[in-house]
Amino acid sequence: MFYRSVTGIITSKEHSDKMKAKKFILKKPFEGLPKKTDFELIEEELPPLKDGDVLFEAIFLSVDPYMRQERIRPPLGTTMIGEQVARVLESKHPDYKVGDNVVAELGWRSRTVVNPDTIFSAYGYKAKPHVLPNFGNISLSAAIGALGMPGNTAWFGLTKLCDPKAGETLVVTGAAGAVGSLVGQIGKNLGLTVIGFAGSDEKVKMLKEELNFDHAFNYKTCNVAESLKIAAPKGVDIYFDNVGGKISDTIMNAMNLFGRVAVCGSISSYNNDPNNLPVAPILQPTILFKQLRVEGFFFNRWLDIWMEGVHKNLEFMKQGKLKAKETVIKGFDNMVDGFIGMLVGENTGKAVIEA
Amino acid sequence: MFYRSVTGIITSKEHSDKMKAKKFILKKPFEGLPKKTDFELIEEELPPLKDGDVLFEAIFLSVDPYMRQERIRPPLGTTMIGEQVARVLESKHPDYKVGDNVVAELGWRSRTVVNPDTIFSAYGYKAKPHVLPNFGNISLSAAIGALGMPGNTAWFGLTKLCDPKAGETLVVTGAAGAVGSLVGQIGKNLGLTVIGFAGSDEKVKMLKEELNFDHAFNYKTCNVAESLKIAAPKGVDIYFDNVGGKISDTIMNAMNLFGRVAVCGSISSYNNDPNNLPVAPILQPTILFKQLRVEGFFFNRWLDIWMEGVHKNLEFMKQGKLKAKETVIKGFDNMVDGFIGMLVGENTGKAVIEA
């Protein structure tokens, strides 16, 4: 496995037999951090296309924290869930033509034959793939990153739930992750003071030097409460929470009256049994005294206005005010390594697998 | 000390010397449950009235959970905070005449000489006393209960923060308390299915038989999760939380997608050191997966539309659809007993002291 930053356009590949496919199926329920042996890589011959079917080939595949969650993961013996950027190799569907690029919920599969009208997302809603416009100089991987689900999670979570007002102070945890790195930059673009917490000194350096964060701290080595006293002398108005748990307590205790908290993720507890979660001091007194509004959300509540977020983030990107950091893991066969690496924080920005 | 239910109008009293007053000052910081020895009862001679001053005499005094909170309680050596219904005995202020009844933030004092323009609430906002209208057959104590702060806490908390829709299911904790008993009845009036949790079998009986709750349970003896399976087969849409802590976790786990939680109180932890709160499983995964909106609040955010709540609750009372349960403790000298009794749940409905 190796990592590199993706720039420029991905060119198509040669394939000896385009009806040969690989997929990862889930073999065992996760216990703690997922293991390679929880998955099985299977090769298969795809069926011929029926009317309405399309043959897709994965270009970039997404690994995201939500895939770890007990309540989301697929039944044992079935293909792992997830989005991919894919190219149309063959089509018997009027809405797709050979060479089109799409974002599709096809799971961890290298090639797929499917009728796009029948695709459902892991969250249970109909998810007919979008054909992507010409991305120009932007990597197609952005379609599963800054111009896709993570980008819209950041844009809508921050703007729809947190009422950001210029001059306010925003704290982001998981700040170097796919969503967090975008939230902080969008916050800066909206005139907020932005403080990020991440899990390594390299990430902290990147947040400050490349992504324009006002302050960034390594939560593994700093005192979170003391760091906030220095970085947020007027208190915290908005907290974009990607991690949950103890650090969230500390941050919420540093919030101002009528602060807003968007609960976007809880990665600190995803490896725990949901019936045996870690304990922390109860939150209600803090929520009460500071009259906080704390709201959990998934991106899919804004599907009806999806393109608002994509256009906004694209505009920022074109202006050079939103950098889409990516960690690219090369090779479909390395999906599991990429997934586990992302869960333990090896990635900076969006973790994608290049097939 | 004895308890009785108040009905009818309170008649004024004779006083040998109207310039003699009693007050309770706070002598020691609370540790755990407040004790009688934390307070001192002091007699004093009031000063003569200057221009703008009014002499008020307490009729009913309020004891409320918020008074226990470390962050609200007054400095040591000063008078305990709180609202009272008072009558004007003398006035050198144009807005008040002898015989007027008011609700005023005068603290635990039997008589008070003060310029009403200079009164501030325990929360720090200007609190010039309102002159009460004629209450007819309703006890003046309602001005510190169903037609005052607790009534508006219930009305605004439920209607402004919880988006109640007829047919939804509401759970209330502290359901037999001053606020909870009103929340449940207002919920019924809005077409909700109402489930209450309270701390004794007598309270449970009262909620079901007198206050029209659909279901009520004694949280000390029932299994909360199992009770909710029976009483809320379609899940819980709204949770009005007066208590915080472990029961709140269990209830939030029984909530539906996009459920709303109003955090009105956290009485279960008020006797704890705020720096050493009880622990419970972390809430973020539940908030995230159910996309809950959890909001803490105090009544004072709706001071600008205060009378909306008073009129609404008065209308319900006149229609016989809102019963203002009260526990009345007789005698100003018994304020501390009333306060402690309320904190341990001896009261049903609003706890008031009749001076």
B191 touches chain A (CB under 8 A): no
Q: How far is CA A290 from the centre of its chain?
A: 30
The residue in chain B having the minimum alpha-carbon distance to the alpha carbon of residue A299 is B291
Interface test with B, best of A282, A289, A299, A302 (most B CBs within 10 A): A282
Residue B25 φ then ψ, to 5°: -105, 155
Read off the DSSP letter of residue B129.
Answer: P
pLDDT given at position A276: 76
Residue A280 sits at the chain B interface (C-beta within 8 Å) = yes
Residue spans of beta strands (DSSP E) within chain B: 3-4, 20-26, 39-45, 54-62, 84-91, 101-104, 111-114, 130-131, 169-173, 193-198, 215-218, 236-241, 255-263, 279-281, 293-296, 326-330, 350-354
Give the mutation candidate from B179, B241, B283 for the A interface (greatest A CB count, under 10 A). Answer: B283
Contact at CB, A269 and B284, closer than 8 angstroms = yes
Mutate to test the interface with A, among B156, B249, B284 (most CBs of A within 10 A): B284
Q: Which chain B residue is nearest to residue A71, measuring alpha carbons?
A: B289
pLDDT in tens, B203-241: 999 999 999 999 999 999 999 999 999 999 999 999 999
How many Å apart are CA A159 and CA A181, to the nearest integer?
15
Whole-angstrom Cα distance, residue A185 to residue A164? 13
β-bridge mates for residue A216, sequence order: A196
Give the mean model confidence (pLDDT) for residues B175-193.
97
Question: What is the pLDDT at residue B15?
Answer: 44
One pLDDT digit (tens) per residue for chain A, 355 residues: 233 333 333 344 444 489 999 999 999 999 889 999 999 999 999 999 999 999 999 999 999 988 988 777 788 999 999 999 999 999 999 999 999 999 999 999 999 999 999 998 877 788 899 899 888 889 999 999 999 999 999 999 999 999 999 999 999 999 999 999 999 999 999 999 999 999 999 999 999 999 999 999 999 999 999 999 999 999 999 999 999 888 999 999 999 999 999 999 887 777 777 677 888 888 999 999 999 999 999 998 999 999 899 999 999 999 999 999 999 999 999 999 999 999 998 888 899 999 9
Whether the CB of B250 is below 8 Å from some CB of chain A: the reply is: no
Of A284, A287, A296, nearest to B288 by CB-CB distance is A296
**Chain B CA closest to residue A297:** B291
* Per-residue confidence (pLDDT) for residue B345, from 0 to 100: 87
Q: For strand A326-330 and strand A350-354, is the pairing parallel, antiparallel, or unpaired?
A: parallel
Inter-chain residue contact B245 with A277, CB threshold 8 Å: no
Cα separation, A118 vs A134, whole angstroms: 25
For B214-230, the three-class secondary structure string (H helix, E strand, C coil) is: CEEEECCCCCHHHHHHH
A290 touches chain B (CB under 8 A): yes
Across the interface, of A69, A269, A292, the residue whose CB is closest to B296 is: A292
Tokens of B140: 């003046």
The predicted pLDDT at position B328 comes to 95
What's this model's pTM, rounded to 2 decimal places?
0.86
Q: Is the pLDDT of residue B7 over 80?
A: no
Any A CB within 8 A of B281 CB: yes
Edge-to-edge strand list for the sheet holding A215-218: A215-218, A193-198, A169-173, A236-241, A255-263, A293-296, B293-296, B255-263, B236-241, B169-173, B193-198, B215-218
* Alpha-carbon distances of A224 from A250, B233, B331, rounded to whole Å: 7, 42, 50
In this predicted structure, the answer to whether residue B6 has a pLDDT above a threshold of 60 is: no
Out of A281, A291, A295, name the one closest to residue B296 (CB). A291
Interface check for B165 against chain A (CB to CB < 8 A): the answer is: no
Shortest Cα distance from B50 to chain A (angstroms)?
38
Q: How far is CA B106 from the centre of its chain?
A: 16
How many Cα atoms sit within 13 Å of A261 on the Cβ side? 38
A287–B263 C-beta distance less than 8 A: yes
Separation CA B140–CA B43 (nearest Å): 26
A285 CB neighbours in chain B (<8 A) are 244, 266, 269, 274, 277
Mean pLDDT of chain B: 91
Of the residues A240, A242, A288, A301, the best mutation for testing chain B's interface (the one with the most B CB atoms within 10 Å of its CB) is A288
Asked whether B295 and A284 are in contact (CB, 8 A), the reply is no
Question: Given CB atoms, is A248 within the 8 Å cutoff of chain B?
Answer: yes
Taking the CA of residue B154 and the nearest CA in chain A, the distance in Å comes to 15
Residue of chain B nearest A267, judged by CA positions: B285
A340: Cα within 13 Å, side-chain hemisphere: 14
Nearest CB among A264, A291, A296 relative to B298 is that of A291
Q: How large is the ipTM?
A: 0.85
